[in-house]
Amino acid sequence: MSRQANRGTESKKMSSELFTLTYGALVTQLCKDYENDEDVNKQLDKMGYNIGVRLIEDFLARSNVGRCHDFLETADVIAKVAFKMYLGITPSITNWSPAGDEFSLILENNPLVDFVELPDNHSSLIYSNLLCGVLRGALEMIRKPRCTADT
Amino acid sequence: MAVCVAVIAKENYPLYIRSIPTENELKFHYMVHTSLDVVDEKISAMGKALVDQRELYLGLLYPTEDYKVYGYVTNSKVKFVMVVDSSNTALRDNEIRSMFRKLHNSYTDVMCNPFYNPGDRIQSRAFDGMVTSMMIQVC
């Protein structure tokens, strides 16, 4: 609870350009190191997973949301609370599968991809795969083991 | 309406040059090349005072019978050169300045692309689109 007292609703302001450029530098360095888009995607997913398993604790401490009763609520909380808190955007939830166990999050202005144009030789690179990994890690920690995330 | 837009690197080689398709595009390339001398002259004349937006814009570099050449240099010594049609007398200084400002903003966006290495030719689609809009807009 001390964590909440310190943070409260205070949000540390930081330049979004620095964040975007840092992520961009990370992805380009991975591309140079691995030279194969599939490997880069896997690494981004792994890194995202590691971030996610830690981020979920921070999220639960700061946001104080209760247990979600069904998947629909989970989707809502992810889009409206989590993304808003960490990236400042609210993606739209679409494309629910008929069984109600899959949905798509559409990010209109993803701050990670500001100014980025994928060159033609990296056409199968999933640039924001880190976010998929984060979601996978976070949801696994609160025990939704069958989660897969795709772009 | 610009007939030719060029982005020249600090070492004076072109990063991007595009003109409207005419029979003799080489003529525009020559004009841009010769204008580099005028740009260098203006930069050295100004000395160390190049911090203001006004000083970034170099103004009319030299007029020829058909065309006028305008220049703009950034603080990192990247030069933008624009050739416009002389017959288009309605083009005022402010419009040229705003066109250069747009060019500068698009150039910074290209630089921020993590896949772009500084010194490479500019192949960004967004930059191309912006230059096209500058070349076909009717003033």
Cα(B109)–Cα(B107) distance, rounded to whole angstroms? Answer: 5
Which residue in chain B is spatially nearest to A122 when comparing CA positions?
Answer: B115
What is the domain range of residue B111? 2-136
**Coil, helix or strand for B131?**
helix
What is chain A's mean pLDDT, rounded?
A: 82
A24/B114 CB distance under 8 A: yes
Architecture of domain A16-112+125-143: 2-Layer Sandwich (3.30)
Confidence of residue B41 (pLDDT cuts 50, 70, 90): confident
Which residue in chain B is spatially nearest to A26 when comparing CA positions?
Answer: B114
Q: What pLDDT does residue B106 have? A: 92
Q: Determine phi and psi for A123, rounding to 5 degrees.
A: -70, -20
Q: Determine phi and psi for B41, rounding to 5 degrees.
A: -60, -45
Q: What pLDDT does residue A68 have? A: 81
| ipTM of the modeled complex | 0.72
Provide mean pLDDT across the span A7-26. Answer: 77
Confidence of residue B137 (pLDDT cuts 50, 70, 90): low
Cα(B16)–Cα(B3) distance, rounded to whole angstroms? Answer: 14
CATH code, domain carrying B70: 3.30.450.70
Q: What pLDDT does residue A46 have? A: 93
The total domain count for chain B is 1
Q: What's this model's pTM, rounded to 2 decimal places? A: 0.78
Confidence of residue B90 (pLDDT cuts 50, 70, 90): low
Confidence of residue A48 (pLDDT cuts 50, 70, 90): very high
Query: Which of A17, A20, A28 faces B115 most closely, judged by CB atoms?
Result: A28
Provide mean pLDDT across the span B62-78. Answer: 85
